[in-house]
Amino acid sequence: MTKTYANLIDGELVTTGETLEVLNPANEQVVGLVPACGQDELDRAVTAARRAFKDWRKTSQEERQKVVQGIAAAIKDNADELFRLLTTEQGKPHAQAQQEIYGAAGLAAAQSTLTLDDVINQDDDQRLSRTRRVPVGVVGGIVPWNFPVMMAIQKIVPALVAGCTIVLKPSPFTPLTTLRIAELIKDVVPAGTVNIITGEDSLGPMITSHPDIDKITFTGSTATGKKIMEGASHDLKRITLELGGNDASIVLPDADVEKVAEQLFWSSFSNAGQVCIAAKRVYIHEDIYDELSAAIAEYAKGVTVGDGSQQGTGVGPIQNKKQFERVCELIQDAKDQGYNFLVGGEGGDPSGSGYYVPITILDNPPEDARIVAEEQFGPVMPLMKFSTNDEVIERANNSEYGLAGAVWTKDTEKGVEIAEQLETGTVWINEFMHLSPFAPFGGHKQSGFGAEYGIDGLKEFTYPQVITVKRDAVV
Ligand code: NAD
């Protein structure tokens, strides 16, 4: 019988009469059922979070740290079970699922050490002025399907560390591993501090507009991010939005072709390209274009697309049907326009079982091709030729997005010089997708609003409060 996973509300594991089915994208079989929550369950969760906030906000840094480290340990100690379950619902190969689970445990452990110290603004004969950070209150967390566990943890942990409580909604496509973690942390977190409820997309706007939620932290598409901003505007909820990206990778002529080919490949194809910070446009200097594009295509031949639970799979299926159809449509459009393919050229088979899209590498499509200008979010890599640094910087910046990017070169000074001209929140020189728990991660332009990670991310769960004592007052 298919297992029903419970939600966590006020320290209790609860289910509802109505449930949603969760599919394995590798074969479209139902692998779990989850509660289909609506307004009633949300209200219960928010009430519990509000009540818990009264005590949690008064806890010491050490107490919060202990709870968060308990979450990290629960994930790490059960990593084997969790990564297998993650592959079953998300599709990513076991090795990448393992990275996500250990990464989430590591992030929780690292961020448990973050502290927001008071700042002295003035300390003289006239007055003592001090800024402290106070928690905003009850947080609504809304999470996508590409890194369901990492994204859940990167919302729960800073909320708790800052002294907030949270109601978290996983994506309806990938709620299972998060709900298994809910079971594991039920007795680790004080009742009501962490509530995890599942439902259709329609549960999202209920969270955004809930009058007793003070802040929304959201990761997902730019389109949904705009709706959230609008919904949150009615009562001026605080918001943090981590949205889409169309990251450019720039390869200078001095890059080592053999070494860079493999890394470039995975910067586009990890998690079947369903990564906000994947390289979605790859610009290669014309001097090495032919050699490097051939090396990437050659490397691609050795990578297997298949079921992520099978040994040897490098690229798993697309996570859901809607996204599968979108990626296939972009590939079909590129084919209809007559662009050249170095690898692939056909979308997936819609009549097959599982949402598999072949590895697709395009040879110098035009800048305004849909497959270049839009976020593909699939196993697609357009390679483009450039001649000068000024030209490539302008092309890279010609996007509504501004999440991240990379420069590949032996001349790291030149790499930094280019990085400083890119309009994105993060730029790597000679690596990709590295995020530090202590550095802010956030998008420029339409890739986001605010930041997560580090002290900057933590601050977003707080208000500044300035307390001033007049020293020379006559009272
Ligand atoms: P999505 O926007 O469709 O859904 C994300 C979450 O929002 C889901 O939980 C969904 O149920 C919920 N939701 C849907 N409609 C809503 C509404 N009107 N109000 C409130 N909540 C609503 O995104 P997705 O397809 O799950 O994820 C893919 C997108 O996420 C890509 O664009 C990707 O680039 C982006 N992403 C960004 C980051 C980042 O850190 N910047 C990280 C991962 C993914």
Q: Which residues contact 168 (CB under 8 A, 6 or more apart)?
A: 140, 141, 142, 143, 152, 155, 156, 178, 194, 195, 196, 197
Query: Average pLDDT for residues 107-130, to the nearest whole number?
Result: 97
Position 352 scores a pLDDT of: 84
Query: Average pLDDT for residues 255-279, to the nearest whole number?
Result: 97
For 308, other C-beta atoms within 10 Å of its C-beta total 26
Element housing 117 (H / E): none
Position 474 scores a pLDDT of: 82
Flag whether pLDDT at 279 surpasses 90: yes
Distance 347 CA to ligand 1 centre (A): 23
Distance 56 CA to ligand 1 centre (A): 29
| Letter string b/e over residues 53-87, b meaning 16 or more CB atoms within 10 A of that residue's CB | beebeebeeeebbebbbbbbbbbbebbeebbbbbb
Kindly tell me the sign of the dihedral angle through the C-alpha atoms of 361, 363, 364, 365.
negative
Residue 63 bears catalytic tag: no
CA distances from 117 to 53, 165, 193, 239, 242 (A): 20, 20, 23, 22, 26
Question: What is the 8-class DSSP label of residue 273?
Answer: G
pLDDT in tens, 323-379: 999 999 999 999 999 999 999 999 999 998 999 999 999 999 999 999 999 999 999
Residue 242 bears catalytic tag: yes
Position 107 scores a pLDDT of: 98
Position 417 scores a pLDDT of: 98
Torsion of CA 261, 266, 269, 274, to 10 degrees: -140
CA distances from 429 to 255, 405, 414 (A): 11, 9, 10
pLDDT in tens, 59-115: 999 999 999 999 999 999 999 999 999 999 999 999 999 999 999 999 999 999 999
- Average pLDDT of the chain, as a whole number: 98
Going by their DSSP bridges, the two strands 238-242 and 12-14 should be labelled as: unpaired
Position 473 scores a pLDDT of: 85
Q: Quick check: helix, strand or coil at residue 135?
A: strand
Position 397 scores a pLDDT of: 98
Q: Which atom of ligand 1 is nearest to the CA of 205?
A: 19
pLDDT in tens, 372-416: 999 999 999 999 999 999 999 999 999 999 999 999 999 999 999
d(CA 20, CA 5): 10
d(CA 118, CA 129): 10
Instruction: Point out which residues pair with 179 in neighbouring strands.
Output: none
pLDDT in tens, 9-45: 999 999 999 999 999 999 999 999 999 999 999 999 9
Q: Quick check: helix, strand or coil at residue 400?
A: coil
Q: Which atom of ligand 1 is nearest to the CA of 242?
A: 41
Position 328 scores a pLDDT of: 98
- Looking at this protein, which amino acid is placed at residue 257? V
pLDDT in tens, 220-234: 999 999 999 999 999
Name which residue sits closest to atom 21 of ligand 1, judged by CA: 204
Tracing tokens 């379950």 back to the chain, one arrives at 85
Flag whether pLDDT at 1 surpasses 90: no
Give the relative orientation of helices 61-77 and 148-162 as an angle to the nearest 10 degrees.
160
Domains of the chain: 7-243+447-466 (3.40.605.10), 248-429 (3.40.309.10)
Q: Sorting pLDDT into bands at 50, 70 and 90, what band is 458?
A: very high
Q: How far is CA 339 from the centre of its chain?
A: 31
Name which residue sits closest to atom 30 of ligand 1, judged by CA: 220
d(CA 274, CA 148): 12
Position 296 scores a pLDDT of: 98
d(CA 370, CA 281): 12
Reported for 75-83, long-range contacts at CB under 8 A and 24+ positions apart, including other chains, are 75/101, 75/104, 75/105, 75/108, 75/149, 75/153, 75/181, 75/184, 76/102, 76/105, 78/180, 78/184, 79/105, 81/180, 82/149, 82/177, 82/180, 82/181
pLDDT in tens, 157-178: 999 999 999 999 999 999 999 9
pLDDT in tens, 206-217: 999 999 999 999
- What whole-number percentage of the chain has pLDDT above 70? 100
Best residue for ligand 1 mutational test, from 197, 202, 276 (most atoms within 8 Å of Cβ):
276
Position 49 scores a pLDDT of: 99
CA distances from 455 to 121, 166, 350, 474 (A): 19, 19, 45, 39
Position 475 scores a pLDDT of: 82
* Ligand 1 pocket residue status of 443, Cβ below 6 Å: yes
Q: Which of 41, 276, 375, 452 is catalytic?
A: 276
* Ligand 1 pocket residue status of 224, Cβ below 6 Å: yes
CA distances from 410 to 258, 260, 264, 389, 430 (A): 13, 11, 15, 15, 8
